Amino acid sequence: MAIFTTLDDLAQEIKDGTLIVLPPDYSNVPIAAVFALIRRRVKGLHLLFAPIGGIAGDLLIGAGCVKTLEAAAITMGEAGLAPRFSEAVQTNSIKIKDSTCPAIHTALQASEKGVPFMPLRGLIGSDVLNNRPDWQVITDPFDENHGPIVLLPAIQPDIALIHTRLADREGNVWIGKRRELVTMAHAAKTTFVTVEEIQEENLLEDERTATGTLPDMYIGAIARAKKGCWPLGLAGHYVPDGKAITEYVEAAKTQAGFEEWLEAHSVPQ
Amino acid sequence: MAIFTTLDDLAQEIKDGTLIVLPPDYSNVPIAAVFALIRRRVKGLHLLFAPIGGIAGDLLIGAGCVKTLEAAAITMGEAGLAPRFSEAVQTNSIKIKDSTCPAIHTALQASEKGVPFMPLRGLIGSDVLNNRPDWQVITDPFDENHGPIVLLPAIQPDIALIHTRLADREGNVWIGKRRELVTMAHAAKTTFVTVEEIQEENLLEDERTATGTLPDMYIGAIARAKKGCWPLGLAGHYVPDGKAITEYVEAAKTQAGFEEWLEAHSVPQ
Amino acid sequence: MNCNQEEFLICTIATLLESSQHVAVGMASPVPGSAALLAREETKGRIDGLRLSMIGGDANNPFTDGGRELFDCSGQGRFDTFFLGGVQIDGQANINLVGTGEYPAMERRFPGSFGSAYMYFVVPKVILFRPEHTRRVFVPEVDFISAPGTSEEGVYRPGGPHALVTELCLMIFDRKRKRFQLASVHPGHSVEEVLDNTGFEFDIPETVPETLGPTDHRLELLRTQISPKIAKTYPEFVARVFETAD
Amino acid sequence: MNCNQEEFLICTIATLLESSQHVAVGMASPVPGSAALLAREETKGRIDGLRLSMIGGDANNPFTDGGRELFDCSGQGRFDTFFLGGVQIDGQANINLVGTGEYPAMERRFPGSFGSAYMYFVVPKVILFRPEHTRRVFVPEVDFISAPGTSEEGVYRPGGPHALVTELCLMIFDRKRKRFQLASVHPGHSVEEVLDNTGFEFDIPETVPETLGPTDHRLELLRTQISPKIAKTYPEFVARVFETAD
């Protein structure tokens, strides 16, 4: 039931306060849509990364769009620490829900399955758990030794926001082997997608492409965005622009530098 | 770490009493391997279907290979009831663990995740639950109304046994969009595979095939078996042999008829 | 226009789907599948047009994440309508797909509960479809509850039985009162016949209408547009039922 | 043959992998990744040869089921060896990847715990790798426990810390005693230097050997066979570290 729209109209449909889930840096990050969200001055987002964020999170935090952030980490990789993220946490200007990679995968899987929680090993004795009053420790009812186990509540994002190479006219979306995008889309109420291309042939009709296709049942809106991951890469299509990312990290060390960089790059396309 | 072997040697590696998981009738059922198991007179199998069985289960039950059966249903589809299964249950000669489709998927997912259990909605008030002392009902700790929820213990099969069209020389196995095979393989300690063909090119090296490939990490043994699903079909390759299935159901109405049918069909290949 | 029993039942079910948004159809369900295809065809082009997801075969099968995806979607609330049957069905809408006699070594064993013990709880509108209308099927109390018709308070249960379609009649289930009510009787049959062949008690309103038969337009649509579509999944069913269309 | 610090550390870690069966390597881990590739090359062709799964990049990445597969496999017990680091590490082998100061508004914030709060519990042999050997890193008590080094009885914990590799030394962790023991000091460094730069207490045996440097054969293997493989995932690292190989 996907609606085909423009990038800025898609961003308009993402309301203030929405719980958005974004993919990790190595995979299909919709930076063009992030710029569109910043242009429309979205406020109070609850931003979840599945499970690690990078420049997408730093941009939205720097632009004042984020109220709450949940991630296992925010990193600019080789380029260093994420400057707007670090400052926002250090100044307590966003609420941070520190997590760990498998806990986020698990909470999304719980939503995907429509169950209220899922258990996960580990965690016990960590300050990650100690700072998550929403997580519960119970006695494992299947353990003869009555050991503890953590239960993680399901997280149902309002919107999963992703970029991919290709969609078809029916609204089916190619995701290839990036199956964390499948979990995100299944877990979320709906999925908004930016794409490089839209093709006429139905992706589900050829088993080779069907295998890596997210069916339109999960998709709410599709908009074209050429090089929609820039300055990040899109696997098999274009590589990350390391120079631009390094320049960003340098510029964004101050809020003024961040805003200058943003003005130069967040232009309507 | 797949070993390439023959069909009968693969069957020899499946010991008496093994917990085997088999796929549903519409997908990649390794009937040639089932015949090989019957030839080697395997005993005391714990047979799990993910989640529905058909002729594979009926054959193994009729041949006296099965001690315990767990499935959401055993059906011969249009051809009617499964005769050896029905009689075995009616005469109490196998132990039946009646389940329901999503409960089996969930218990396998729990094993895939390495967690001791997963919750599932529904079930409460059913005689499926009432006859499963291994399932537990707890008070949902996330429910403000303190409602009940069922916890299902993980099922870790010793061996997932499947048939697919193609493997490569590295031991990677093509499964296409039949992703229940992925869950089965991840959940099981190891996976034994019969295939129509083995190709030289690495399936993981092309993203189109990588997407539908089960990596060799999960694979224990691979053997060739041409038309390895017969009389069932292999999607996109050959269709079920409806006539043979109907003849089987007719013949297997008596144990004598079953054994006659088996002798005529379970020949070494 | 004359129609055969399957065509009549398909159209009766299609009418029940008029307010459905997303219908899921399980394995081995040619009549519900045809009804859903028909209802979809009739709402085609409308913004709130019916959406259909069928497992079993590749046609109209949108699933790409394995056998669990149908159930996961149901848990997520993506479907509002599903179909179930029963070897036995009782007056509380409990259904039995496992067998008759005492469990486990039953007198007559059937395939098993399939996904019913879950789907009946989570899909809002479950339509029970069981053509054979006899006291063998419609019993005072089922021998094995594959899935209960109703649940105690506190049990998570957004879903449950909505209607029962048989070869004789249409009943609607009242979840609060936990009872079926006769809604209409098919042409050529009577309330007495329904009473004689039903082993459980149910409510009978003062006047019981006759089930409306298919319009000529609908029958033509079914025979010309829907039968080739259902044939992709159920060729034998189409060959048997729609032979009049040749 | 002379070698640089990264080459030395790669070879030191490779030696620790000699009894490993299946090594998993996470994101942004060029030194552990190189060590694992080297150890695999050295056991190639043996039935019990080392197996390696790397995330980050497509090379040596066998995963086809999304981001959770690495963690699921770890939960299944398919890996026996993994690597973690730390902004701070203390004498109980607690690691901190989140930041320094009081949580949450810390003085200095780092990326976050990644998968450590899980992997440290479930992978049998976790090798801690942190080149910078200072009292800033090796503290009496970490400011935030991303993952604890040990757990109370009753907590499911097949995994945990095995060794710590720094620019100065190799320590081995004793899980029962919950303490590190100095195992060897790298050439050119001393026990005193390790003591001066470590903020936590640890055990020092009577004689502390010097860490064995790489053999010429191993160095050549690393520079000629391994560097092109690691370059597929970490081209900048290879360009910087293995320039001597040109």
3-state SS string for A37-76: HHHCCCCCEEEEECCEECHHHHHHHHCCCEEEEEECEECC
Cβ-Cβ contacts under 8 Å for C198 (sequence gap 6 or more): C133, C135, C138
Chain D contact for A257, CB < 8 A?
Answer: no
CB-nearest to C105 from B91, B100, B146 is B91
C-alpha separations of C205 from C180, C182, C191 in Å: 11, 7, 11
- Tell me the nearest-neighbour CA distance from D197 into chain B, angstroms: 39
Chain B contact for C242, CB < 8 A?
Answer: no
- Domain membership flag for residue C11: yes
Q: If pLDDT is split at 50, 70 and 90, which confidence band does C235 have?
A: confident
- C60: tokens are 């109209």
Cβ-Cβ contacts under 8 Å for B121 (sequence gap 6 or more): A114, A115, B149, B150, C75, C118, C121, C122, C156
Give percent of chain D above pLDDT 90: 84
Rounded mean pLDDT of D175-191? Answer: 97
For chain A positions 98-127, those within 8 Å of chain D (CB to CB) are 98-103, 105-106, 109, 120-127
Distance in angstroms (rounded) separating the CA atoms of residues B160 and B178: 14
Instruction: Name chain B contacts of A117, Cβ cutoff 8 Å.
Output: 119, 140-142
Chain B contact for A156, CB < 8 A?
Answer: no
Contact C86, C96 (CB under 8 A): yes
- B109: tokens are 């997912």
State the pLDDT at residue B269.
47
Which segments of chain C are extended strands (E)?
22-25, 51-54, 81-84, 88-90, 95-96, 99-100, 108-109, 125-129, 138-139, 161-165, 169-174, 179-185
The H or E element containing residue A119 is strand A117-120
Distance in angstroms (rounded) separating the CA atoms of residues A149 and A142: 10
Chain A contact for D146, CB < 8 A?
Answer: yes
Contact D1, D219 (CB under 8 A): yes
State the pLDDT at residue D246.
44
- β C161-165/C169-174 pair status: antiparallel
- Tell me the nearest-neighbour CA distance from B213 into chain D, angstroms: 7
Per the prediction, chain B carries an average pLDDT of: 95
- Domain membership flag for residue C246: no
Helix A255-265 vs helix A83-90: crossing angle, to nearest 10: 140
Contact D22, D78 (CB under 8 A): yes
Chain B contact for A73, CB < 8 A?
Answer: no
Rounded mean pLDDT of D73-87? Answer: 97
Distance in angstroms (rounded) separating the CA atoms of residues C224 and A9: 41
pLDDT per residue over B25-41, tens digit each?
888 999 999 999 999 99
- Tell me the nearest-neighbour CA distance from A76 into chain C, angstroms: 32
CB pairs under 8 A between A and C: 38
pLDDT per residue over A182-200, tens digit each?
999 999 999 999 999 999 9
Threshold 0.95, pTM exceeds: yes
Q: If pLDDT is split at 50, 70 and 90, which confidence band does A11 have?
A: very high
Distance in angstroms (rounded) separating the CA atoms of residues A113 and C72: 4
Give me the CATH number covering residue C25. 3.40.1080.10
Spacing of C-alpha C26 from chain mean position: 10
Q: How many CB atoms lie within 10 A of CB B226?
A: 12
pLDDT at residue B96 greater than cutoff 80: yes
State the pLDDT at residue A25.
86
State the pLDDT at residue A101.
98
Which domains are seen in chain B, by residue range? 3-100+228-265 (3.40.1080.10)
Per the prediction, chain C carries an average pLDDT of: 94
- Domain membership flag for residue D245: no
pLDDT at residue B139 greater than cutoff 90: yes
Per the prediction, chain D carries an average pLDDT of: 94
Chain B contact for A140, CB < 8 A?
Answer: yes
Distance in angstroms (rounded) separating the CA atoms of residues A85 and A99: 15
Question: ∠ at Cα C141 (C139, C146), nearest 5°?
Answer: 100
- Domain membership flag for residue D32: yes
Chain B contact for A257, CB < 8 A?
Answer: no
pLDDT per residue over C89-136, tens digit each?
999 999 999 999 999 999 999 999 999 999 999 999 999 999 999 999
- Domain membership flag for residue D244: no
Per the prediction, chain A carries an average pLDDT of: 96
pLDDT at residue D244 greater than cutoff 80: no
State the pLDDT at residue A190.
98
- Domain membership flag for residue C114: yes
Helix B83-90 vs helix B255-265: crossing angle, to nearest 10: 140
CB pairs under 8 A between A and D: 150
Distance in angstroms (rounded) separating the CA atoms of residues B171 and B268: 24
The H or E element containing residue A162 is strand A159-168
A116–B142 C-beta distance less than 8 A: yes
The H or E element containing residue C34 is helix C30-42
State the pLDDT at residue B266.
75
Contact B231, B244 (CB under 8 A): yes
Rounded mean pLDDT of B68-76? Answer: 97
Instruction: Name chain C contacts of A212, Cβ cutoff 8 Å.
Output: 64
B216–D77 C-beta distance less than 8 A: no
Asked whether at least 3 C-beta pairs link B and D within 8 Å, the reply is yes
| Residue C155 backbone phi and psi in degrees, to 5 | -80, 130
How many residues are given for chain B?
A: 269
For chain C positions 71-110, those within 8 Å of chain B (CB to CB) are 71, 75, 97-99, 103-110
3-state secondary structure of C172: strand
pLDDT at residue D112 greater than cutoff 50: yes
Q: Tally the domains of chain C.
A: 1
State the pLDDT at residue C1.
74
Q: How many CB atoms lie within 10 A of CB A244?
A: 16
pLDDT at residue C84 greater than cutoff 70: yes
pLDDT per residue over D187-238, tens digit each?
999 999 999 999 999 999 999 999 999 999 999 999 999 999 988 888 889 9
Rounded mean pLDDT of D113-122? Answer: 98
pLDDT at residue B185 greater than cutoff 90: yes
Instruction: Name chain D contacts of A50, Cβ cutoff 8 Å.
Output: 67
Rounded mean pLDDT of D4-24? Answer: 96
- Tell me the nearest-neighbour CA distance from A177 into chain B, angstroms: 4
B116–A142 C-beta distance less than 8 A: yes
User: Would you call C243 exposed, middle or buried from its count of C-beta atoms within 10 A (0-12, 13-18, 19+)?
Assistant: exposed
Distance in angstroms (rounded) separating the CA atoms of residues D37 and C224: 63
pLDDT per residue over A238-251, tens digit each?
999 999 999 999 99
A140–B121 C-beta distance less than 8 A: no
Spacing of C-alpha D205 from chain mean position: 22
Contact B169, B204 (CB under 8 A): no
SS (H, E, C) chain D: CCCCHHHHHHHHHHHHCCCCCEEEECCCCHHHHHHHHHHHHHCCCCCCCCEEEECCCCCCCCCCCCCCHHHHHHHHCCCCEEEECCCEEECCCCEECCEECCCCCCCEECCCCCCHHHHHHHCCEEEEECCCCCCCCEECCCCCCCECCCCCCCCCCCCCEEEEECCCEEEEEECCCCEEEEEEECCCCCHHHHHHCCCCCCECCCCCCECCCCCHHHHHHHHHHHHHHHHCCCHHHHHHHCHHHC
Residue in chain B closest to A143 (alpha carbons) equals B116
pLDDT at residue D245 greater than cutoff 60: no
Residue appearing with tokens 């899922």: A118
3-state secondary structure of A153: strand
**Best of D27, D68, D69 to disrupt the A interface by mutation (most A CBs within 10 Å)?**
D68
Contact B199, B169 (CB under 8 A): yes
Q: Which among B186, B191, B115, B114 has a CA at the least distance from the CA of B160?
A: B191
Rounded mean pLDDT of B10-17? Answer: 98
State the pLDDT at residue C61.
87
The H or E element containing residue A118 is strand A117-120
DSSP secondary-structure letter at C186? Answer: -
- Domain membership flag for residue C245: no
Which chains contact C through at least 3 pairs of Cβ atoms less than 8 Å apart? A, B
State the pLDDT at residue A254.
97
- Domain membership flag for residue D34: yes
- Tell me the nearest-neighbour CA distance from B30 into chain C, angstroms: 17
Q: If pLDDT is split at 50, 70 and 90, which confidence band does B268 have?
A: low
pLDDT at residue D147 greater than cutoff 50: yes
State the pLDDT at residue C233.
83
Asked whether at least 3 C-beta pairs link D and C within 8 Å, the reply is no
pLDDT at residue A269 greater than cutoff 50: no
The H or E element containing residue A32 is helix A31-39
State the pLDDT at residue C2.
87
- D178: tokens are 């919950």
B113–D122 C-beta distance less than 8 A: no
Chain D contact for B217, CB < 8 A?
Answer: yes
Q: Which among B78, B77, B48, B73 has a CA at the least distance from the CA of B60?
A: B48
- Tell me the nearest-neighbour CA distance from C96 into chain A, angstroms: 25
Which segments of C91-214 are extended strands (E)?
95-96, 99-100, 108-109, 125-129, 138-139, 161-165, 169-174, 179-185
3-state secondary structure of A141: coil
Domain that holds residue D182: 5-239
Cβ-Cβ contacts under 8 Å for C77 (sequence gap 6 or more): A114, C122, C158
Contact D158, A121 (CB under 8 A): no
- Tell me the nearest-neighbour CA distance from A22 into chain D, angstroms: 13
State the pLDDT at residue C219.
95
Question: ∠ at Cα A204 (A200, A206), nearest 5°?
Answer: 90
Between these two residues, D170 and A207, which has the higher pLDDT value? D170
- Tell me the nearest-neighbour CA distance from B6 into chain C, angstroms: 29
Distance in angstroms (rounded) separating the CA atoms of residues A160 and C62: 19
pLDDT per residue over B186-230, tens digit each?
999 999 999 999 999 999 998 778 999 999 999 999 999 999 999
pLDDT per residue over A105-120, tens digit each?
999 999 999 999 999 9
Instruction: Name chain D contacts of A237, Cβ cutoff 8 Å.
Output: none
Q: How many CB atoms lie within 10 A of CB C223?
A: 18
pLDDT per residue over C179-231, tens digit each?
999 999 999 999 999 999 999 999 999 999 999 999 999 999 999 999 999 88
Instruction: Name chain D contacts of A120, Cβ cutoff 8 Å.
Output: 118
For chain B positions 1-30, those within 8 Å of chain C (CB to CB) are 24, 26-27
